[in-house]
Each structure stands twice: as structure tokens, then as C-alpha cells.
Amino acid sequence: MRVVVTGGGTGGHIFPALAIANALDAEILYIGGEKGIEKDILPDSGFKYKLIDVEGFKRKLSIKNVAIALKALTATKRCRAILREFKPDVVVATGGYVSGPVGQAAAGLKIPLFLQEQNSYPGVTVRLLAKKARAIFLGSKGAEKYLPKHKCMFTGNPVRREIVDADRKEARRRLQLEKKTLLLVTGGSQGSQAINEAVRALYPKLKKKKDLVVVHHTGWLDYPDVKSGPTAYPVLQSELGQGAKAVAENIFITPFIKGMATFLAASDLVVSRAGAIFLSEAAVLGVPLIMIPFPHAAENHQTYNARVWEENGAGLLIPEAEISSLEDKLLALLDDPSRRKKMAERAKTLGNPTATEAIVREIMSLA
């Protein structure tokens, strides 16, 4: 069996595509964009790949969209040639602007097209390709309201194997947390200045909580140049990796987390953005969240994602414009373990550790 997999622009599109590709017993060709981060990821993926010249439309009226539209037409012709040469049995697209030309080319050549949508509000590309797809695999509940319902299947998002295999008891033992409460703060791989500033303002109150350990992932762009202080948890500094520092006995800052699966599994509460893949990972592990969606995400999809969690009792949604309310809500949750436990149980209902296998089964069956 031969399969073309496509998706790009952000990790939220690329990593689900790679998870599906790794699970398929097939010869894989990955089609990505020349300008997306996939150009840096695919060389180490082990898959054959081709990159095409394509970019997303500007969301405001712009003369540049004319040139982008012409580039999309050229990219679609290029994709037809690639598909004719590779002769795939199916095409799987996970979104991002690169999926558009690939999906259009597949439909034109009558090759079965499958879509995987990560977010509660589908992206433009998935909505445009929906009528031409054989099936659409949904990672978040609510997306079916915007798509042909008879084609939609709620499978959950494909999640990295190390997340699926992570064990909470083992993670906490490894980090030597004993009965301490672990608060993880992360703004994503690049970090979030808004979240960082709000949490830093709470350090004086957080360091007084002797039963609390805080891991604050700042990202490299907003990582402060401060000296490391004394710590009661040296193993955490070792596990976090290069750059991690203790700013108090129980508060660690780090520009990145090398073993996110371990820290996420061990966490009792997480403050984060609301990217679909991160939420899916938290759901699989049953971690309650305080979500501060990135306000400039395409079509505000992070807010839609966060609403699903809040409506299901798994997390709290705080718009970035109301981030001043974080202090009261965070401190209240830290002092209420029974509420966190209920939220964790609800979070588990939003994830599916076998999502990748379910998607692969459906592709093989429907194809």
C-alpha cells in the first residue's frame, strides 16, 4: 500500500501526520511546504518527502493574495505530477495551507482523501476539502458542527507514543515528588510572555507553599538572565536539562523541557495555552488545566478548544485580556485537591490513547 501524508506550517499539523504515518503499514511519501517547520523536521523522520512552494492567504484584504492564489494553482499542478508519479492508494491530510494543493490534486485524480482535524473549530483548509474527503477524523468534540456530519468520526488526536506510555506513579517517583503538588506552567515551545509575566508576579505567594513544586517553562525568547538559587529538589534541575534554574527552593524556570511526557504525567495542575495537540496529550494523561488561549491563533481556534474543556468540567478558560484573574483562580485550585481530582477525571474523557490506531483502522477499512 502507498500513502501520501501531508500537513504543515506548525507542529500541531505535522506531529499528528507523522504519528499516523508511523502507524501505517505502508510506503509513505510526505508532502510538506518549503516555508513551514516541516522542512527542518522531515529530514530526521525516516520518510521520503517532497517540499512544495505554497503559502497561506493573508487574513486581511491584501494584493499579495493574488500572487498567493497563483502560487496555489501552480502548487496544485505540482502535486498532481507528484501523485501521478508516486501512485498512492490514499492521501491523508492533517491541515495547514500545504494540505490544500495536495487535497485538491487528490480529489482531481479521484484518489481517496482522508482528513484529520485537531481543533474544535476546523481550519480553513479542512473546511474547503471536507466535501471531497472520504472521511474526517476529529480530534476535538464540537468540530462536527462545521463539517459534513456523516463523514465525521470522533477519534481523538494522534498522540506521541511517549505520552501514551507515560505512567503517573513512575513519573512522580522519578522526579522524587512524594506527596508534593506539581504545578507546570508552559506557553508552548516558544513560550508566552503574557503567561510568563502573570506567573512571575505570583512567585512570592507560590514559594510560601511548602507542599508545592513549580516548574515554569518560559521558552527561550523570554528566559530571564538570573542566578540559580538553592533548591530542595536537585533531581528536578537534572531532569529538566540545560538552562534550568531554581529561583526559589520550590520554583524552577527552564527554557525548554526535554522530557515533557514525564513532567506532564506527574503534574497535578497545568497553566497553558490551548493548542489542540497539547490538550490531547493532557487529556490522555488526565491532567486538569487552566487555559489562556493565544488570542491571535488562526480563527481563534484555541478559544474554541478551551471552551470544550471548560464545558466538560476539565479545565478553566481565562482569556488573555482577563489574565489578571489568574491569581485567584490558580491559588483556589491549588488549595482544592478534590476539585482537581474531579477535573482530572473529566479530562480523561476528552482524550483517546488509541486514536492513532483507530484512524489507521478506518483508513484501511474505508480505502
- What confidence tens digit (pLDDT) does each residue in 162-190 have? 999 999 999 999 999 999 999 999 998 77
Taking only Cα atoms into account, the Rg of the chain, rounded to an integer number of angstroms, comes to: 21
**pLDDT by residue (tens digit) across 324-361?**
999 999 999 999 999 999 999 999 999 899 999 999 99
Alpha-carbon distance 44 to 60, whole Å? 36
Highest mean pLDDT: which range of 7-11, 27-31, 241-245, 349-353: 27-31
Burial class (CB in 10 A: 0-12, 13-18, 19+), 169: exposed
- Those residues whose C-beta lies under 8 Å from the C-beta of residue 162, and which sit 6 or more positions away, are 261
Q: Is the pLDDT of residue 67 over 70?
A: no
DSSP 263-278: HHHH-SEEEE---HHH
Cell output for 275: 493548542
Bigger pLDDT: 43 vs 66? 43
Lowest-pLDDT range of 20-24, 124-128, 161-165, 238-242: 238-242
Q: Is the pLDDT of residue 80 over 80?
A: yes
Whether 221 contacts 241, CB under 8 Å: no
Q: What percent of the chain has pLDDT over 70?
A: 96
Beta bridge partners of 252: 215, 246
Report the candidate in 224, 189, 333 with the shortest Cα–Cα distance to residue 268.
333
Q: Is the pLDDT of residue 21 over 60?
A: yes
Domains in the chain, ordered, with CATH?
2-156+353-366 (3.40.50.2000), 163-348 (3.40.50.2000)
The per-residue pLDDT for 209 is 96
Whether 4 contacts 92, CB under 8 Å: yes
Report residue 255 CA to chain centroid gap.
18
- Look-up: residue for cell 503574557? 194
Average pLDDT over residues 14-21: 94
DSSP 254-322: ES--TTHHHHHHH-SEEEE---HHHHHHHHHHT--EEE---TTSGGGHHHHHHHHHHHTTSEEE--GGG
Give this prediction's pTM: 0.84
Question: CA 365, 4, 42 angle in degrees (round to 5)?
Answer: 130
Report residue 142 CA to chain centroid gap.
17
Beta bridge partners of 230: none
Beta bridge partners of 27: 2
Average pLDDT over residues 233-242: 87
Alpha-carbon distance 268 to 15, whole Å? 25
Q: Is the pLDDT of residue 125 over 80?
A: yes
Beta-sheet pairing, 251-254 with 245-248: antiparallel
Q: Does an H or E element contain 92, and which?
A: strand 90-93
Quick one: pLDDT band at residue 55, thresholds 50, 70, 90?
confident
Distance set, CA 15 to CA 118, 276, 307 (Å): 11, 11, 23
Q: Is the pLDDT of residue 367 over 60?
A: yes
Q: What beta strand segments (E) does 129-201 contain?
A: 135-138, 152-154, 181-186
Quick one: pLDDT band at residue 261, thresholds 50, 70, 90?
very high
What is the Cβ-side half-sphere exposure of residue 288, based on CA atoms within 13 angstroms? 26
Whether 315 contacts 288, CB under 8 Å: yes
Cell output for 94: 492533517
Alpha-carbon distance 220 to 340, whole Å? 30
Mean pLDDT estimate for the chain: 93
Alpha-carbon distance 242 to 106, whole Å? 45
